[in-house]
């Protein structure tokens, strides 16, 4: 197993998305690059950008300082901004093998997507007439609009994937029949059979399962619920059922959960939305009986207290004697758990566990039936969308290795960088997390319009710039002269003397780049911003500016952290280049534009108290001072380089016009 140290967000993500990569792209305003990075591993960016359980955010090291990066919202932004962008070419069928996928949820469609890209012919079978599984039918539009799911499904079908809907395993076809036409079958039918509690009255009219209820609503039906609704459970489905009930006209909706708010499976933002919409939540209570005359009228509950840990690692709810209470209910919605349809799977000859899931060999999804694979909820039981996507990807890769008689791919062990040291945390400036705009409560509770409205471009860029770029800092090359200058000047005290050369703990490096700019041997490389990339970017900018043939050509450098939404001010004569802190720019980067025959260079810095990195402004001024000295010595002139504000620019421009064009543009030799 290969160990690979990655940012904690990437290690926590089930599909190991390069979070740092796409967040960094958004920070630079390059949304197309961001979505390309996301789509390398995830065919459902719009869906995950809205309903992902955000394991990445729970691992984000920014939380040690203030709040984690809004990674999910940034994924949504990248997806929403590029909906019409064609990212993937339709592949040619490279192989003869045909693969049948049963189930069109995230696991099944992800596998179909990956297999099609590899060159296989894939057909997806689904019992419903709409593809997407729970994405299309089990999640309300106010959280995940169906038109977005359809676009993502259509993108997968556009790869040459065939779909056959309205056909069920066990009713319309068998595994044996499929294997006559297909070289492999992948089962991804999900886990949508509701678990029902064994309490008196559960058979009464008005006691319904949450999944079936949500599916019915998604198909356009509006069940008559009555005014008083009790929802039992604490997961995403329970919250969805409660909020849907409000939109269908229920005036009194109560969620009852047997543990506390700290253990509730639904995300905190979902709980907050529910409470804002008038939904009451009762914690530490469980039902014991449903009462009514043919139709449910009330539910009797008992209060609970948390006891010892159970198998899930959570404290077990224990009933409190003589603590029963009653709630009036016209409808009771049960959201206490789900399982696969075990009977159909057993009849198909598959080995089934006691919990009704398909037994497989390992992550490859191999079942007891030759050429039949399984993954997703049908194997694991109910899991998140991102986990289902991950399982679909693993089995698609396993199928490819299986058909091509390749050895199993050695798994990478994505090891998370360790937490930031307390001393480093204290030196990092706090930055407020961008708040997601949302519909006002009174505007949303009567319809199914999407509640969260998405980040604006300005919000997305500012939120992305909160990222610490974990693991993308400075690396010491072998040509280190062991002068230990980096040890002396690092604002965060991270470099240290090694056995032969200086060493930098990449887990603690803040990627300010000051050590790289000050290294006399140029032996320190800043992974986030390589010098050769800086040169190429500058040369491209100069070429573009030169096409406009200004009399005086001026290049401006500005700090993206100080001016996140673009250049600090507009001037036709200035071609701006944004940098993540001008403190990392050495004197050579300020001089190089003059070698390209630029006439003047201006630098706009953020205020001292607003600088992202410690001492960033001081180092900018130091490097500019050194560059000015060199410009004087070689005869170009120090006055052509300056730190300016918008108010200063006109004076600088007038001075530059008086100096005339760069001597190098006229072929005049400069001093050496």
The span from the CA of 185 to the CA of 102, in Å, is: 7
- Average pLDDT rounded to a whole number, residues 40-49: 96
Token digits for 287? 């039902």
pLDDT digits (tens, 9 = 90+) for 503-512: 999 999 999 9
For position 114, what pLDDT does the model report? 96
The span from the CA of 589 to the CA of 583, in Å, is: 11
Q: What is the 3-state secondary structure (H, E, C) of 449-467?
A: CCCECCCCHHHHHHHHCCC
What CATH number labels 194-337?
Answer: 3.50.50.60
Residue 108 has pLDDT above 90, yes or no: yes
Residue 2 has pLDDT above 60, yes or no: no
Closest CA to 355 of 311, 303, 413, 419: 311
Residue 155 has pLDDT above 60, yes or no: yes
- Average pLDDT rounded to a whole number, residues 391-420: 88
Q: In whole angstroms, what separates CA 515 from the centre of its chain?
A: 31
Q: How many other C-beta atoms can be found within 10 angstroms of the C-beta atom of residue 595? A: 11
Name the CATH superfamily for 98-192+339-412: FAD/NAD(P)-binding domain (3.50.50.60)
Q: Give CA separation, 260 vs 34, 265, 282, in Å.
A: 38, 10, 9
Domain spanning 2-86+419-464, CATH class: mainly alpha
Domain spanning 474-526, CATH class: alpha beta
pLDDT band of residue 551 (cuts 50, 70, 90) is confident
For position 548, what pLDDT does the model report? 75
For position 159, what pLDDT does the model report? 93
Domains 98-192+339-412 and 474-526 agree in fold? no
Quote the DSSP letter at residue 180. Answer: H
The span from the CA of 464 to the CA of 470, in Å, is: 13
Residue 558 has pLDDT above 80, yes or no: yes
Q: In whole angstroms, what separates CA 348 from the centre of its chain?
A: 38
Token digits for 129? 């007439």
The span from the CA of 142 to the CA of 395, in Å, is: 32
The span from the CA of 438 to the CA of 442, in Å, is: 11
For a pLDDT cut of 70, what percent of the chain falls above it?
A: 97
pLDDT band of residue 411 (cuts 50, 70, 90) is low
In sequence order, which residues have a C-beta less than 8 Å from that of residue 34 and are 6 or more positions away? Answer: 22, 23, 25, 26, 74, 78
For position 179, what pLDDT does the model report? 95
60 DSSP β-pair partners = none
Closest CA to 34 of 44, 19, 47: 19
Q: Give CA separation, 180 vs 94, 95, 172, in Å.
A: 21, 18, 15
Residue 588 has pLDDT above 60, yes or no: yes
Q: 118 with 112: CB under 8 angstroms?
A: no
pLDDT band of residue 545 (cuts 50, 70, 90) is confident
In sequence order, which residues have a C-beta less than 8 Å from that of residue 419 and are 6 or more positions away? Answer: 61, 64
Q: How many other C-beta atoms can be found within 10 angstroms of the C-beta atom of residue 499? A: 6
pTM: 0.92
- Average pLDDT rounded to a whole number, residues 301-307: 94
Which residue would you say has higher pLDDT here, 506 or 607? 506
Residue 671 has pLDDT above 60, yes or no: no
pLDDT digits (tens, 9 = 90+) for 249-290: 999 999 999 999 998 999 889 999 999 999 999 999 999 999
Q: Which sequence spans correspond to the domains of the chain?
A: 2-86+419-464, 98-192+339-412, 194-337, 474-526, 531-666
- Average pLDDT rounded to a whole number, residues 637-663: 90
Q: Backbone dihedral region of 663: left (phi > 0), alpha (psi from -120 to 50 degrees) or beta? A: alpha
- Average pLDDT rounded to a whole number, residues 335-351: 89
């Amino acid at each position: 197993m290969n160990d690979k140290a990655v940012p904690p967000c990437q290690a926590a993500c089930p599909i190991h998305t390069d979070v740092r990569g796409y967040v960094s792209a958004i920070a630079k305003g390059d949304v197309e690059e961001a979505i390309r990075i996301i789509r390398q591993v995830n065919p459902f960016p719009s869906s995950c950008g809205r309903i992902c359980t955000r394991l990445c955010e729970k691992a984000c090291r920014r939380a040690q300082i203030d709040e984690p990066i809004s990674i999910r919202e940034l994924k949504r932004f990248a997806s929403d901004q590029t909906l019409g962008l064609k990212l993937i070419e339709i592949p040619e069928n490279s192989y003869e093998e045909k693969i049948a996928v049963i189930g069109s949820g995230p696991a099944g469609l992800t596998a179909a997507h990956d297999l099609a890209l590899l060159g296989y012919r894939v057909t997806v079978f689904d019992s419903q007439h709409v593809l997407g599984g729970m994405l299309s039918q089990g999640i309300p539009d106010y959280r995940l609009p169906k038109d977005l799911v359809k676009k993502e499904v259509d993108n997968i079908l556009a790869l040459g994937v065939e779909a056959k809907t309205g056909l069920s395993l066990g009713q319309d076809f068998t595994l044996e029949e499929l294997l006559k036409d297909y070289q492999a079958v992948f089962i991804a039918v999900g886990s949508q059979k509701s678990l029902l509690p064994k309490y008196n009255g559960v058979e009464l009219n008005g006691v319904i399962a949450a999944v079936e209820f949500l599916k019915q609503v998604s198909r356009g039906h509006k069940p008559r619920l009555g005014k008083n609704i009790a929802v039992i459970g604490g997961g995403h489905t329970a919250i969805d059922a409660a909020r849907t009930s409000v939109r269908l006209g229920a005036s009194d909706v109560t969620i009852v959960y047997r543990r506390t708010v700290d253990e509730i499976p639904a995300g905190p933002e979902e709980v907050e939305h529910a409470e804002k919409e008038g939904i009451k939540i009762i914690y530490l209570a469980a039902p014991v009986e449903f009462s009514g005359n043919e139709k449910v009228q009330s539910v009797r509950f008992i209060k609970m207290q948390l006891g010892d840990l159970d198998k899930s690692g959570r404290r077990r709810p224990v009933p409190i004697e003589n603590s029963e209470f009653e709630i009036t209910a016209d409808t009771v919605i049960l959201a206490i758990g789900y399982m696969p349809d075990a009977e159909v799977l057993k009849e198909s000859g598959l080995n089934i566990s006691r919990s009704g899931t398909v037994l497989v060999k390992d992550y490859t999804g191999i079942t007891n039936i030759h050429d039949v694979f399984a993954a997703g909820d049908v194997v694991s039981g109910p899991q998140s969308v991102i986990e289902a996507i991950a399982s679909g990807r693993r089995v698609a890769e396993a199928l490819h290795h299986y058909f091509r008689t390749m050895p199993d791919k050695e798994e990478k062990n994505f090891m998370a960088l360790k937490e930031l040291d307390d001393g480093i945390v204290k030196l990092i400036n706090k930055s407020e997390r961008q708040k997601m705009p949302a519909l006002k409560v009174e505007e949303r509770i009567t319809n199914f319009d999407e509640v969260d409205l998405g980040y604006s471009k300005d919000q997305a860029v500012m939120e992305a710039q909160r990222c610490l770029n974990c693991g993308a800092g400075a690396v010491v090359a072998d040509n280190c002269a062991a002068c230990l200058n980096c040890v002396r000047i690092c604002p965060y005290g991270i470099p240290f003397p090694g056995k032969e050369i200086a060493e930098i703990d990449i887990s603690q490096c803040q990627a300010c780049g000051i050590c790289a700019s000050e290294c006399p041997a140029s032996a320190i490389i800043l992974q986030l911003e390589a010098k050769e990339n800086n040169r190429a970017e500058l040369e491209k900018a100069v070429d573009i500016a030169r096409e406009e043939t200004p009399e005086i050509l001026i290049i401006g450098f500005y700090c993206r952290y100080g001016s996140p939404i673009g250049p600090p001010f507009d001037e036709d004569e200035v071609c701006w280049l944004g940098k993540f802190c001008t403190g990392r720019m050495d004197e050579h980067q300020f001089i190089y534009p003059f070698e390209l025959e630029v006439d003047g260079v201006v630098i706009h810095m953020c205020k001292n108290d607003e600088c992202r990195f410690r001492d960033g402004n001081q180092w900018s001024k130091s490097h500019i001072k050194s560059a000015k000295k060199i410009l004087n010595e070689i005869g170009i002139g120090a006055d052509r380089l300056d730190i300016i504000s918008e108010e200063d620019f006109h004076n600088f421009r007038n001075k530059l016009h008086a100096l005339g064009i760069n001597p190098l543009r006229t072929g005049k030799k400069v001093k050496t």
